[in-house]
Homo-oligomer: A and B are copies of this chain.
């Protein structure tokens, strides 16, 4: 069991007059950490469930997990946060799944984060800049963050990863967690894996691993925050390409080839942007496994299939409205952002798959060009050699 609120004052090792016992004790009872999950959509609710099952079991975490809820009034007239706290269920975004009782929904962002030193960010990526700006000066000085958010901001000066945005605005360390993680499957405790990416502090990464890891959710850490985050972001572009191939009924060889070429462009693009990115990251859950899950199921693939079946005559806006109840596809906006980077840096010819996906999404090319233009990619020797581009 985790300690009670009173024990929260335990901020350092207790000196019991025995140096070696003291060291052991310091290992076993480190600072008690408090966790807040910023976000309560489908994935945020599942993340809260995973985390809250661990804070109950691991004594270095305070039991309670705060979950910030972007307040909504339900058709019944009740507030979403109140219903979550009364029923232990996010009836809107994760219906049918009970959350542990130590998950406390909180509609007040500043209040939700103020006592926590471990902040888990899991909101749609376009809200992150605003949320971070609201939190400046409102968080604990020893807070650290982890981002579960896919996507990036493309600014005039270049692409900015969400973990960098959080780090820079809040002045804190930020890891990422990505992987083959369809939320509803994890909610019913089917086995899956995930990857934590960290920059320098291995101890903090290990703490995140302990917080998320369960017998059915196996987490590993790699020192490659950009590689892990770019995998999570770019795979949605490849999923659109895979969806086009499905819609065109081109078969498994072609789909596998497009996925492989997509993985190759993901790796090359990541290494061009961040030379520290490691090849092995693409063999982790965040890499090849997430790519597979997303290209087999996933809404990017599904809408892209419908788009290709209609010969591109119905726009993504229209298909999203019909198939996703108004949610927007991450892949379509990421494809546009990636295209802007490629265009700005003169790399368009090096990434025919990425470039073609955006041209198809925006209606400038027919879906069938995905194969015809992309096969060129696999013939490019430059992709693996950033040095040639300088």
Contacts and interface: CB of A to CB of B under 8 A. Distances in A.
B190 A220 contact: no
B253 A180 contact: yes
Interface of A: 180-182, 185-186, 190-193, 218, 220, 250-257, 259-260, 263-264, 267, 279-280, 282-285, 288-290, 292-293, 296-297, 371, 375, 378-379, 384
Contacts of A252: 180, 182, 185, 292-293, 296-297
Contact of A279 (B180, B218, B253, B279): B279
Contact of A285 (B181, B260, B289, B379): B260
A269 to B, nearest CB: 14
Chain A contact surface mostly? helix
Contacts of A260: 180, 193, 283-285, 288-289, 292
A117 B275 CA distance: 45
A296 B242 CA distance: 13
Contact of A218 (B185, B375, B384): B375
A256 B293 contact: yes
Contact of A283 (B180, B257, B263, B371): B263
7 contacts: A192-B253, A192-B254, A193-B257, A218-B375, A252-B297, A259-B289, A260-B288
B182 A251 contact: yes
Contacts of A290: 256
A296 B256 contact: yes
A327 to B, nearest CB: 19
Given A218-B257, A260-B289, 6 more contacts: A180-B256, A180-B257, A256-B290, A256-B296, A279-B280, A280-B384
